[in-house]
Structure 1
Amino acid sequence: MKSVDLHNVEYGECVVLNGHNGGILMVDCGSSNQKIRERDVPFTAYVNPTLLELYGNCPERSFLLTHFHRDHLCGLRQILSARPGWFQRIFLPAQPCDRYGSPLLLEFALFVYSFLGRQTDYAIVNVSSLKILERAVQLTPAAQVVPVGQGDCFGFDGVTYDVLWPPRRDCVFSDLFAGAVEEMNVCLSSPFLPECARQFLALKNAFCQAYLACCAGGPLDALRVAECSRLLAEIDALLPAVNLLPSAPDIQEILNRPVTKAAYTEELNAASVVFHNRRTQEASTDDILMTGDASPETLDALAELLYENYYIIKAPHHGTASHWSHLLSEISSSHILVSNGDYQKAGKIAPAYLELPAVKHCTNCSACDWYAVSGCSCNRMAVCYDLANGAGLTIKCPYVCGAQQSPDCGIFIVGAAGRRSCLCDNLPVQIN
């Protein structure tokens, strides 16, 4: 890995690993904001043409989606629509199953798809997870589309990366979420309901099994994806009758419960793809831990698989306090990536990150209480160990001073106004 671009997409995420051979691995591309405050640029314009032009000449382009939330996903949809075949490889998250082999996230998505309005944000997320296999195969016919889960690996720039999460089997879901899925299944299980209720349950189960077969391992098979599409079309044809069932309002009530929505959101986060490089020698600048929106419980489950130190750790869930894990203070790192921004419903950056000795690279300081109170970057007193002349304060970095075209750490914060340093109060000093 030659360098890392951390893109300012406001409250969202887009991290690009740049290889020595000129190739890229883009991890997520999405935003919850319509506009990026930096130069007031619409997010859609930042993706197309800005991102597409920035990496347009790369000889190899790969994409990895960590999970199906809009702030990680919507840019991928735009790229696939604007430039079919732009990515040669796309890695998608595998669907985790509980101890009984049931893919509860997928089942839940089908219930939302079938019983709620398609234009709500809630429904859009679910439509993405249900149809992304078909869309990826159609728009990238020459590409490898590979679902990945725990135990899988992939290569980039001569480095092997191990996928640590999510598990395909024996995934633990919260009682609240698992109970909601079971409650909806029960709503359609009465023998006194019309035949369409049994048909729906049978098609739902068949679709889930077909989807799991697609994600079993290796690149997607077009015939298996076609079977998923066929089953979803049969479900579509059944929906007018299903939504007239006496139990349909009960399912809608379950789906619209605030606690159910919150539980589903958190389960999607907890199922994020987490990966790191496979070490073949001693620690190096290739050591990176990518966490998506992983929950503290997910990181706890992975504790024994993690290294004691990394060069770079991406803060889970935009560095918010709700996803802070004690492991982040127990595992040393040289650099922390925090992708956050101005968004009403988002959490702020956890104060615990300030206590870490690592240099923080933040896309936006609007969600940082430290900056709001002090008016300066927390990195001003941070020691960087990557400077050419030896360890020193980050303010002594030639890139920060504008005297060098590339930082010694190889980490760029990239936005609509160009590239800038890790000092968030030094925005005018930019190197494009």
Structure 2
Amino acid sequence: MKVRMYNVGCGDCFCLKDRKGSLLVDFGTSNNRIDGRPRSDIFDVIISDFTTISHKSFLLTNFHLDHISGLLYMLKKYKGSNDFNTIYLPDVFREPSMSRTLTLLLLSDLLKNTYLPSRQISLYAFVEALLKQPQHIEFLKRGDVFEGKYQALWPDCNVIEEETQAALKHILSLKKIGSEEKTEAQNRGTYQEALTLLESFAEKLRQIVCDTLKTNAFALECEFRDLREKPEIAELIQALEQENIHLRQFKNKISLVFQSKNDGEMNVLFTGDIPQKYMNMIAANYDDTLPLYEHYWCVKVPNHGIQADYFDFTDCTPENMLISNGIYYADNKKQTKAYRTSAQYAGLFYINDTHMYCSSSDCCDGYRNGCTCKECDVISPQYYKDI
């Protein structure tokens, strides 16, 4: 087993390779430039490396920019030259009821306050790419085995359904729309109309991904453009922004987490952007079906190692830990702080005899005039590091 960790700045891109094949895990970045180079140049180098792999599948942990932008770039620019055996997605598509969850993911994209979210990296952009370059898609939920050697630990569809219902109930309870006061019944009616419109479109996206609906990208874009201009949608978005409701984190709740299927010397654990709450549930084996192993050869820490999603992996005795931190260019110091790698992961204060790999130490709170990790490798300014 070999893991190649690519340098994509504040993003994720890995390749798990053995004699039987390769699994690419995420491909994206939040940065426009990485180590002074345009991100398109970095993408081109990584894609060139991908072309040397004959049998490969792709796993997307979630639909955030820093996980999917490179994949969409590749599907658009290198049409037909980088086909995958399978693209694995979090299971938020298989059942019709999941259109409600997709509604929240779609609404999260609309909250970016752009005129046409299809031009942004989003759930919609992924579906649009599939229409232009179809791929074999499979969905993963807790307990599913894939590639014959990995097993999904998250998402749990029942938990996601509960979270979806709670989020929708909260949205319907909003009372203000701009400066205009309305009765609770009036608000619920307006927001319900908006959610119904969004759910209808989300169901169409679900069917396209499931390959049960045939359409074309232009027709879908026209429909999305019309949807965005609906007054009910605009009113709902205005209310959510006014109440400072961030649905962006909902994408983390569906994030894929997986480990090696069989307990052995080369166990891997990849955690995507899983929130701390759910990582704690996984570690506690909340449903008594899938315990974590006592030892891992390689662990990818959640969500760039930020403090909000910090998880203590001491009991997992990892030999190697991967932190795709990079530098996050935010508009304010508070937001920048929130995206820095927690000092709790730093080797001096963490797990003895664990080797730390990170894309860049510049955005790490454990970095003080030099890395504080006892055993560490920083990829930057190189393109990748093999573990």
What TM-score, normalized to structure 2? 0.78
Task: Provide the alpha-carbon RMSD of the alignment.
Answer: 3.9
CA contact (8 A) 1:149 1:166 kept: yes
Corresponding position: 1:70 with 2:65: yes
Report the Cα offset of residue 134 of structure 1.
4.2
Distance 1:58 1:97 in 2: 29
Cα displacement (A) at 1:31: 1.1
- AA aligned opposite 2:56: R
Per-residue deviation, residues 366-399 of structure 1 (Å, max 9, x unmatched): 12233324x245234xxxxxxxxxxxxx8xxxxx
Are the counterparts in 2 of residues 97 and 103 from structure 1 also a CA contact under 8 Å?
no
- Give structure 1 stretches of 5+ with no counterpart: 381-393, 395-411, 423-432
The aligned counterpart of 2:333 is: none
What 5-or-longer segments of structure 2 have no aligned partner?
330-335
Q: What are the Cα deviations for residues 158-182 of structure 1, in whole angstroms up to 9, with x where unaligned?
A: x421112112234242898444433
Partner of 2:42: 46
Determine which of 28, 31, 52 is the counterpart of 2:29: 31
Residue 200 of structure 1: CA displacement? 6.0
Residues 1:115 and 1:26: Cα distance change in structure 2 (over 3 Å): closer
8 Å contact kept, 2:9–2:324: yes
Q: 1:361-380 maps to which residues of 2 (within 5 A)?
A: 361-373=357-369, 375-380=370-375
Where in structure 2 are the equivalents of 1:400-419 lying within 5 Å?
A: 417-418=382-383
Q: Secondary structure at 2:149's aligned position in 1?
A: strand
Q: Report the alpha carbon displacement of residue 278 of structure 1 after superposing the two structures with TM.
A: 0.5
Measure the CA separation in 1 of the matches of 2:3 and 2:282.
24
Count of matched residue pairs: 362
Q: Cα gap change, 1:268/1:109 in structure 2, threshold over 3 Å: closer, same or farther?
A: closer
Counterpart of 2:342 in structure 1 is 350
Alignment of 1:258-407 (within 5 A): 259-261=244-246, 264-279=247-262, 282-285=263-266, 287-303=267-283, 304=285, 305=290, 306-326=292-312, 328-344=313-329, 345=336, 347-353=339-345, 354=347, 355-357=350-352, 358-373=354-369, 375-380=370-375
Q: Please name the residue that 1:138 is paired with.
A: 132
Distance 2:66 2:72 in 1: 12
Distance 1:147 1:224, change over 3 A: farther
Find the counterpart in structure 2 of residue 384 from structure 1: none
Alpha-carbon separation, structure 1, partners of 2:105 and 2:146: 28
Q: Partners in 1 of 2:191 and 2:319 — Cα distance?
A: 55
| Alignment-mate amino acid for residue 92 of structure 1 | L
The answer to whether structure 1 residue 173 and structure 2 residue 200 are counterparts is no
Separation of aligned partners in 2, 1:416 and 1:82 = 25
Distance 1:114 1:191, change over 3 A: farther
Which of 46, 55, 58 matches 1:60? 55
Contact kept in structure 2, 1:109 and 1:130, CA below 8 Å: no
Q: Which protein shows a greater Rg?
A: 1
Q: Deviations over 1:282-339 (max 9, x none)?
A: 5221x1111001111111222212222211110101111111124x233221111011
In the alignment, structure 1 residue 206 sits paired with structure 2 residue 200: yes
Identity across aligned pairs (percent)? 23
Give CA deviations for 1:47-92 in whole Å, capped at 9, x if unaligned: 01x0121221211122111111111111111111121231322122
| Number of the residue aligned with 2:90 | 93
Q: Distance in 2 between matches of 1:26 and 1:413?
A: 21
Q: For 1:200-279, list aligned pairs within 5 A.
A: 202-212=196-206, 220-221=210-211, 223-224=212-213, 226=215, 234=223, 236-237=225-226, 239-240=228-229, 242-243=230-231, 250-257=235-242, 259-261=244-246, 264-279=247-262
**Secondary structure at the residue paired with 1:265?**
coil
Paired with 1:254 and 1:97, the residues of 2 have a C-alpha distance of: 31
Give the equivalent residue in structure 2 for 1:80.
75
SS at match of 1:256: helix
Per-residue CA deviations over 1:402-430 (Å, capped at 9, x if unaligned) read xxxxxxxxxx97555355689xxxxxxxx
Q: Is contact 1:8–1:413 with CA below 8 Å preserved after alignment? A: no
Letter in 1 for 2:310: W
Q: Which amino acid aligns with 2:2?
A: S
Alignment-mate amino acid for residue 33 of structure 2: K
Q: Deviations over 1:349-382 (max 9, x none)?
A: 2222231222111111112233324x245234xx
CA distance 1:102–1:183, shift in 2 (3 Å): farther
CA contact (8 A) 1:200 1:235 kept: no
1:81-140 Cα distance to aligned partner (Å, 9 max, x none): 121231322122232899x946554223444666874358xx46987213423422531x
Q: Residue 5 of structure 1 contacts residue 414 of structure 1 at CA under 8 Å; is this kept in 2?
A: no
**3-state SS of the aligned residue for 1:164?**
strand
Letter in 2 for 1:182: L
2:264 maps to a residue whose letter is A
- Structure 2: how far apart are the matches of 1:227 and 1:184? 36
SS at 1:372's partner residue?
Answer: coil
